[in-house]
A and B are shown apart, each in its own frame.
Chain A
Amino acid sequence: MGMAGERAAAGRPAEVYFFGTCLVDLFYPEAGLAAVELIEREGVRVIYPQAQTCCGQPAYNSGYRREARRVAAAQLPHFAKPIPVVVPSGSCAAMLHGCYPPLFAEGGTAAEAARARDFAGRVVEWSTFLAEVLRVRLRDRGAPVRVAYHPSCHLLRELGVREAPLALLGQLAQVELAALAGAEECCGFGGTFSVKQADISGAMLADKARAVVESGATVLLSLDAGCLLQIGGALAKAGHAIRCLPLPLFLKERTA
């Protein structure tokens, strides 16, 4: 995707914004903190605007664009400096990068539209920022472990981020990546889809959870909190002890 390349070409910034996302804020705050600290460890200052809330995707994906636009508009003033906005979620990064410009083009003021375009252009997905902009070198300090990686749909297909997370994991000497059957197939989360079409979502989830169990991994990693809530929820309900973690938290734990 263009955003990775453009950022890489722009070189290493002195400071970045961090857009934590609402799911990370509420359900995986430790992973958000780990994501911030892994950036800071590379000598880059991280600004976390306390006034941020949510990218607006839940309403946007449900067709409620006016409400999504109001929430999106409330984010923009807090990310005004011309520095990258790092996002630890494929889905939210796709929303901020790909959907903000059309969202404000069709409904916002001209000033908002311009601001949204500028903002969208500065959005960088977290693993891409670490692997391709900061070019981090990770030293694995953990015990041998077998992990599976779930390449979430929006990260993979909207942002085109396939290599960066695997490149980061590949630096960990004691981590074995398990083959995951149907890895690139959706887990069935889909935001409100998971409750509006609970049966279909459950059928997709059952296959995904089975694949994770059959992979023999003891840890499942992903860059999308929604998928982790979904898959982790199924594994927990079935009594499996597989840990489902956001990738930043796992990397932080292994390299601390």
Chain B
Amino acid sequence: MSREHPLKPVERELKVAPRRRLDLIEEVDADARAMQAELEGSGRTSRQARQDALRHFVPADQALEELAARHAPRLGRWARSAGWADRVVVLGVALAATLAGFIAVAALYGYGVPDVAAFVTWPLVAVIGALAANLCWAVTQLLMHGDLRPTQRRLLWNRHAGLLVVAVALGALGAAWVGHATLAPLEPPAIAAPESPMEQPPVWEPPVWEAVGRMATVAGTGLAAAVFGLFGWLALTPRLLTDEEAERRIARFFAQARPQLTLASDPSPEHERRGRP
């Protein structure tokens, strides 16, 4: 059975930015190792020294809470002290989604394409709202906790990628519908026969350019929704890349520590394994 690193629960429980987590586990690990070595040098057994070092340095629940509060982003600290952190998140997400929805409706009707089928318009509005809500959720997580775990990051990207595809698809579907609705029912108007046989009858041309213009507007709205989502994602990318690098270093830290822990074959009590003295 593989034994968990004593600092793994600390890393898991501490809800702060990855960089802060990495700094803390490296600091605690270095202090615990140094103390263990010093205690072993003064005659204690390896196990006693290790237990003592862990008891001193592995943060317990209260210390973790204090550290999380200390290293929370400024906005998160303020919201927590005000006692309405959750409401800020919910309100922010709802506001962003509603605003994006309104903008989408205004854009669609402002461009003069009110005859786009409702089955395209409203899903597109919902997709734009969902894109805004997804971005707002990620931003509030970062601003309130300073932390977006790898699983949350993957979820954010999966949702976002799905919504981008849906937005483009809806734009294309809407364009096809508008084209069909504009051109299909049109028949050449009844044209009076020329009075003289020398006169050429007027040629009727369907309003192709008008239809193309409408189709482009609807397709463009879907594309614009996707671009909106993409730009939001790009705005978050630098921060997410930095966090990703810190996460990689955290993973490397635990991967390097694992062989040493496996070699220490002396059975340790449950509380030590869980990192609790």
A and B bound?
no
Instruction: List the interface of chain A (C-beta within 8 A of B).
Output: none
Instruction: List the interface of chain B (C-beta within 8 A of A).
Output: none
